[in-house]
Amino acid sequence: MNTKAISKNNGQKLNGFSTEAIGDDHLFTSLETPMKANAFDMSNEEKKSRISILFSEIMDVLGLDLTDDSLSGTPDRVAKMYVEEIFSGLDPQNKPKVALFDNKYQYNQMLVEKNITFYSNCEHHFVPIIGKAHIAYKSSGKVIGLSKLNRIVQYYAKRPQVQERLTNQIANELKTVLETDDVAVIIDAKHLCVSSRGVQDDTSTTVTTYYGGIFNSPEKINEIQNYINN
């Protein structure tokens, strides 16, 4: 294994600080998920095969016996899980197809979809982020199927993430799809990189918000919070 190539980022610095000095500090470097230009040159089957080999190396370095019946299939299982499940949101082919419908009911107040459960993974340590998303929007003349709101959340959650980016990505997608700036996104999540390692705080959660258009006012923010908390 080319360990030198894998460790090549150790010398890089951000704002003058090394990755070691930054440690567990939270980083948010871009709105878009950082992807290589050739990210999709390799097929999913090729990716699974390669990940399986590499994960076998990790297990071997840790001292695990890959001939054991319980462990022998783990590299393949992890590879399949990475590509087809928990990181499937990296592939634009998995982006949910959304159809809009005329607002025939003439419902012109906010619609709130709350408590959308999602599972993501922290891009700093590749451990789970578990939380709930709350979404509000006001129709611009079109409406969206409720399940599509859930699917949009799941799509952006199923990739290595930071919560701030996840919040903004969901909001921007909703604004584009719904053709309106009147969108709000609130995410309340537990980060296992905080609770299961590092500082090991199992009680704290993180809340991030996006308020656009008519929702970016104290009155509407309070109204949304009342809907969510009741």
Q: Which of 26, 84, 113, 125 is catalytic?
A: 125
Q: Which of 46, 123, 200, 223 is catalytic?
A: 123
Token duo for residue 213: 């258009």
Active site residue 46: no
Q: From residue 66, give the alpha-carbon distance in Å to each of 1, 51, 52, 54, 127.
A: 17, 15, 12, 13, 23
Under DSSP, the state recorded for 9 is G
Neighbours of 181 (CB within 10 A): 16
Active site residue 164: no
Active site residue 193: yes
Whether the CB-CB separation of 187 and 132 falls below 8 Å is answered with: yes
Q: Which of 46, 124, 169, 179 is catalytic?
A: 124
Active site residue 123: yes
Nearest to 9 by CA among 1, 17, 18, 54: 18
Active site residue 134: no
The alpha carbon dihedral of 75, 80, 85, 90 has a sign of positive
Q: Which of 46, 193, 200, 223 is catalytic?
A: 193
Question: How many Cα neighbours within 13 Å face the side chain of 197?
Answer: 12
Q: Which helix (H) or strand (E) holds 156?
A: helix 146-157
Q: Which of 134, 169, 173, 191 is catalytic?
A: 191
Q: Which of 154, 161, 163, 169 is catalytic?
A: 163
Active site residue 191: yes
Q: Which of 122, 154, 169, 173 is catalytic?
A: 122
Q: Using CA atoms, how far apart are residues 49 and 178, in angstroms rounded to an integer?
A: 39
Nearest to 152 by CA among 190, 191, 110, 183: 183
Hey, which residues are catalytic here? 122-125, 163, 191, 193
